[in-house]
Structure 1
């Protein structure tokens, strides 16, 4: 069975990303496009558009040419969108780099992507210059390292803004030209460059309009990293395209986060589950006026329904909305619409326009499943990536001959068309032939009043049997024991789902987007 979106199909958008996002800036030139949540500094749409055009001219004058790859290695800031859209307007492909990247990791991404330009910030210069030195030693020199702020040894965005060179007059092929090259592990293996064309990105924005499009001047808090595709799309591309005001924070600090909501009268928040957890449970939340909030949307990792309900009750919201997608899907396939008055608990939403979904049997991948049946989710639509950069075989393993992208996620569609994601194929634990979903056990553990966070993986013992093991973070002052944790779970699940081992941690390792780093836990278990 093929599930199709209820929304009208879209026509492909044949515009480069900078034109689609900032093309309407002249309609609201004095509206604040960006506000620094720490300093309060504001940048209007007219200023943002002018700065992007000047930076593009400066980059072109420096030697950036159409098709070059520029690595953008920076935390969230007012300068980030100027650098990003300036680079794409100059014809470059931007490969966003995690703020947490080591010199070795940055060098690896530079090497793999073929990037020859770096835009970073002065605190990250030791990492950037070390990575550049590694590539130089390999005979792949980086042409230049720019900074978003200031440095005695490197040109800055201010220097590029001062350029008097003409804007680059380029023609784009939005279907073929790659706008963004983020890195993702996909369903298996090491991170790979995901080729997202201008049409992929712009089309996905248009696809989501029916379920989410902020109003001009609507205030949205941007704390999720822009280098992640979720942050880039939900906190820059879509709000700036709509004329909203993006209030930028460089990182998540709960007190600063709450203070910014109060002072800037934030209306919308995009979050990952760890932020939802803090909003639901941390006592600091009660000290701030969060009454301006109208909606909160969580994505990037599974969110337990009970946790979502607890957060919504505490914030006085009807519900916590969810969305679903992945980097390889530009990234959105599902969103829970803001005007949906009666969604089922735990859903990640409804399928956006021009999207098709099949649910494949886990035991027989050639068999399509129907309503209410759980299997692997595979998608087709204009948001499907062009492929993994330089990895044809891995692209073929991800996207079949008919254009269906295999997500590795397990879920089902209910009779009303809502999607539920229950786990990932590669994360499923097989205990004596039974499938155990880590997300289910994690949700149960998080409901315990003495557990602040938790993760579950499968650990194979000497007898070759894979068993669920829980990594648990106690709340401060708790003396919770392993026996108490295992008994708590055992009393609420089928025997094959019981947690067989418990280890207490200071923190569950997670990516910047909030996903549990299960590979680190598996390495720890060896």
Structure 2
């Protein structure tokens, strides 16, 4: 959709087949890129790069594809003197949410509903509509929302209810002024002793640690608790920190049920999709293959 809007306005587009950090920085300079969109993890890296790269003439950055914590958004904006916004969208919905970037928008917000769009936040267990600052699943209804999935009635029925509401699977809330905030994905919730533990919140805390480059938190099976939160962490090169120290950094800042009882594991890299998102599905598959290989040997 962003590409279509650029084409419609006559803007030049420089597209990368895959997100590559060094190539991205090179393209910024060579093509004098003014506006860009990038995955949130690169925002974290920009904050920790030393020496700091020159992003001029860049003026506007949109972060999208996954959750970015407000602290990182503010830090990128301050360090690089650019306007930073978070955007939200799905293939199934066209321009249902947006910001007027000429007016103040709360940090972390993905904006307000567009015209002709209905939005509600519902309890993930009961489906009951929730009020301001109550976290639940985002649901949309309107002419720009898909009518269903081609030749897949089961998937359509699972996503669109009898009243025409499309259930996104994204968790968030709206404030008293109608600004929406995305906090996690339902499928990424970790279930610990009846509690829903938001992995995105733990990942944001991990990335605030000065030694951590990036992190992914997943649930590991446990016979008593259902799942235990475990963090897979990529460190900045040469950082003298232990896994226990990183775990304590997070555990000291969260409620008891959110603690990293599954531990912290240092790894060399996190698998990504072509769009630059961390793929927890691929991460779990890789780890399962590694454990199977070790067991077999």
Considering the TM-score relative to the shorter chain, is it more than 0.5? yes
Change (3 A) 1:454 1:436: same
**SS of alignment partner, residue 278 of structure 1:** helix
**SS of alignment partner, residue 373 of structure 1:** coil
For 1:296 and 1:425, the matched residues in 2 are separated by 27
What's 1:443 paired with? 204
Is 2:240 the counterpart of 1:479?
A: yes
For 1:454 and 1:294, the matched residues in 2 are separated by 28
What's 1:280 paired with? 47
Is 2:23 the counterpart of 1:256?
A: yes
Alpha carbons 2:193, 2:225 under 8 Å: kept: no
**Superposition deviation, residue 357 in structure 1:** 0.5
**SS of alignment partner, residue 467 of structure 1:** strand
For 1:464 and 1:522, the matched residues in 2 are separated by 19
Matches within 5 A, 1:43-54: none
**Superposition deviation, residue 263 in structure 1:** 3.1
Alpha carbons 1:450, 1:474 under 8 Å: kept: yes
For 2:130 and 2:215, the matched residues in 1 are separated by 32
Summarize deviations over 1:115-138 as a string: whole Å, max 9, x none: xxxxxxxxxxxxxxxxxxxxxxxx
Summarize deviations over 1:6-27 as a string: whole Å, max 9, x none: xxxxxxxxxxxxxxxxxxxxxx
Is 2:178 the counterpart of 1:417?
A: yes
For 2:23 and 2:257, the matched residues in 1 are separated by 43
For 1:394 and 1:251, the matched residues in 2 are separated by 29
**SS of alignment partner, residue 13 of structure 2:** strand
What's 1:314 paired with? 79
Summarize deviations over 1:184-204 as a string: whole Å, max 9, x none: xxxxxxxxxxxxxxxxxxxxx
**Superposition deviation, residue 337 in structure 1:** 2.5
What's 1:328 paired with? 92
Change (3 A) 1:420 1:483: same
What's 1:453 paired with? 214
Is 2:113 the counterpart of 1:348?
A: no
Alpha carbons 1:255, 1:284 under 8 Å: kept: no
Change (3 A) 1:444 1:405: same
**SS of alignment partner, residue 329 of structure 1:** coil
**SS of alignment partner, residue 439 of structure 1:** helix
What's 2:70 paired with? 305
What's 1:407 paired with? 168
Is 2:278 the counterpart of 1:516?
A: yes
User: Unpaired runs of 5+ in structure 2?
Assistant: 292-297
TM-score, structure 2 as length reference: 0.90
Equivalent of 1:363 in 102, 125, 134: 125
For 2:51 and 2:4, the matched residues in 1 are separated by 31
User: Number of residue pairs matched?
Assistant: 287
**Superposition deviation, residue 383 in structure 1:** 2.1
Equivalent of 1:468 in 205, 216, 229: 229
For 1:408 and 1:427, the matched residues in 2 are separated by 10
Alpha carbons 2:190, 2:228 under 8 Å: kept: yes
**Superposition deviation, residue 497 in structure 1:** 0.7
Matches within 5 A, 1:111-260: 233-234=1-2, 236-260=3-27
Alpha carbons 1:451, 1:474 under 8 Å: kept: yes
For 2:80 and 2:221, the matched residues in 1 are separated by 42
Is 2:37 the counterpart of 1:270?
A: yes
For 1:243 and 1:255, the matched residues in 2 are separated by 27
For 2:139 and 2:125, the matched residues in 1 are separated by 15
Alpha carbons 1:457, 1:521 under 8 Å: kept: no
Alpha carbons 1:271, 1:298 under 8 Å: kept: yes
- Asked which structure has the greater CA Rg, the reply is 1
Alpha carbons 1:277, 1:307 under 8 Å: kept: yes
Summarize deviations over 1:410-440 as a string: whole Å, max 9, x none: 1111001110111111211121122210000
Alpha carbons 2:44, 2:207 under 8 Å: kept: no
Is 2:104 the counterpart of 1:337?
A: no
Aligned alpha-carbon RMSD (Å): 1.8
Summarize deviations over 1:86-114 as a string: whole Å, max 9, x none: xxxxxxxxxxxxxxxxxxxxxxxxxxxxx
For 2:16 and 2:134, the matched residues in 1 are separated by 41
**Superposition deviation, residue 462 in structure 1:** 3.3
For 1:343 and 1:337, the matched residues in 2 are separated by 8
Runs of 4+ residues deviating >4 angstroms: none
For 1:255 and 1:482, the matched residues in 2 are separated by 29
For 1:252 and 1:408, the matched residues in 2 are separated by 25
